[in-house]
Homo-oligomer: A and B are copies of this chain.
Amino acid sequence: MPATLKDIARLSGCSFQAVSAILRDQPGTRFSPATRARVLLVAEQLGYRPNASARAMRSGRTGCIAVLRGTHPNHSSLSPHLLGGIMRELDGQDLHAAILSLDDAQLTSPEHLPKLLREVVADGVLIKYDHRIPPRLGALLAQAGIPAVWVNSRQPADCVHPDDLEAGRLATERLIRLGHRRIAYADFSYDLADATEHYSAHDRHAGYRTAMRAARLAPRLLGGRRGHPAPAARLDFCLDTLRGPERPTAVIGNSAWSTCPFWHAALRLGLRVPADLSLLTFENWRHDALGQELTQYLVPEAEMGQAAVSRLLALLAAPGVAQAPLVLPFTWVPGNPWRG
């Protein structure tokens, strides 16, 4: 049986309230150095750890952050990196996280969520964005007084997301500076089941177009919401694209899913990467297995997790004070060799 305050009190000859005060070293109370030492010693010997449930019940604080995720495997799953970032930030604070999985029904009609959240007694909640979450969830949580921070979302406040717009712009400008003129943007993600336009895909593409227009170059979209090839026809689509007279000298892919087919086509056509075709891709995390010729722009997953937690903690400390969205830059992982 775990040791309690009363056990320590009995063995060190004082009241359990004194033990409690000493172990937390509550400001405003004074105890003699002798008592203090005795209590600390006994606590150490018994391997005392405060009972989290009791503490939570008394203080109202659980030291627990709920993390919402959908159950759909393709969308809104918690990546190890995001989880790692969340944990890194929590660990310093003597907090832990409870993961809460929501099935599609709960995601779509979140009326019962506040109740559910209260049951997993948590101080606040981190919500990994999923396009199926209806916007009214924010209002519901606010109404229930549950502090929430959104991850990878564009809420008006209390959210953290990657700077997709800037990443799209930077990637394009980098290629332009290298002398590329025919730069295409590829997005085949729409042949995924249940794919709808995501902020990220939209913003990356928008950043690309901005940079192209600024340089007076014609943007070119391969794939996209309309016009994406069927999965089986993808490779042929890419071969055709790379064989044409107007073939791009660089392709920026919305994800590895969109970029790899071009790479494979290039390999098959004998084009050298990146000498004949530069390939840039956005990705959630570093795909070492993809090989080192691809240049990757990595979504700052770990940083998002960390930032989201620290925002949530700030929100807990100062309830009701909304904070402006926090926008995080991508990480540039140059391919090898990188011409530039």
List the B side residues contacting A69 at CB < 8 Å. Answer: 83, 87
A97 to B100, CA, bound (A): 8
The reply to whether the CB of A194 lies closer than 8 angstroms to some CB of chain B is no
> In the bound complex, do residue A91 and residue B78 qualify as a contact, i.e. CB atoms below 8 Å apart?
no
Number of copies: 2
Question: Quick check: which of A169-177, A196-204, A219-227, A252-260 contacts chain B, the rest being far away?
Answer: A252-260
The reply to whether the CB of A115 lies closer than 8 angstroms to some CB of chain B is yes
Residue of B nearest to A58 (CB): B53
Residue of B nearest to A288 (CB): B257
> In the bound complex, do residue B260 and residue A115 qualify as a contact, i.e. CB atoms below 8 Å apart?
no
> In the bound complex, do residue A47 and residue B115 qualify as a contact, i.e. CB atoms below 8 Å apart?
yes
The reply to whether the CB of A245 lies closer than 8 angstroms to some CB of chain B is no
Q: How large is the interface on A (under 10, 10 to 19, 20 to 34, 35 or more residues)?
A: 35 or more
The reply to whether the CB of A56 lies closer than 8 angstroms to some CB of chain B is yes
List the B side residues contacting A302 at CB < 8 Å. Answer: 73
Rounded to whole Å, the gap between the CB of A95 and the closest CB of chain B is 10
A141 to B118, CA, bound (A): 30
The reply to whether the CB of A20 lies closer than 8 angstroms to some CB of chain B is no
Residue of B nearest to A97 (CB): B99
List the B side residues contacting A290 at CB < 8 Å. Answer: 260, 289
A57 to B51, CA, bound (A): 8
Within 8 A of B (CB), among A111-158: 114-116, 118-121
The reply to whether the CB of A183 lies closer than 8 angstroms to some CB of chain B is no
The reply to whether the CB of A264 lies closer than 8 angstroms to some CB of chain B is yes
The contact sample of 11 A-B pairs, CB cut-off 8 A, is: A2-B118, A47-B114, A49-B116, A51-B121, A54-B57, A64-B98, A71-B88, A83-B99, A98-B98, A232-B292, A289-B290
Nearest first, the 10 closest Cβ-Cβ pairs linking A and B are A77-B80, A267-B267, A87-B101, A53-B56, A256-B289, A53-B57, A257-B289, A49-B119, A52-B121, A53-B53
A residues apposed to B, CB below 8 Å: 2, 47, 49-54, 56-57, 62, 64, 69, 71, 73, 77-81, 83-84, 87-88, 90-91, 96-101, 103, 114-116, 118-121, 231-232, 235, 255-257, 260-261, 264, 267-268, 270, 287-292, 302, 336
A73-B302, A98-B98 given. 5 additional CB < 8 A pairs?
A51-B121, A69-B83, A96-B100, A231-B292, A255-B289
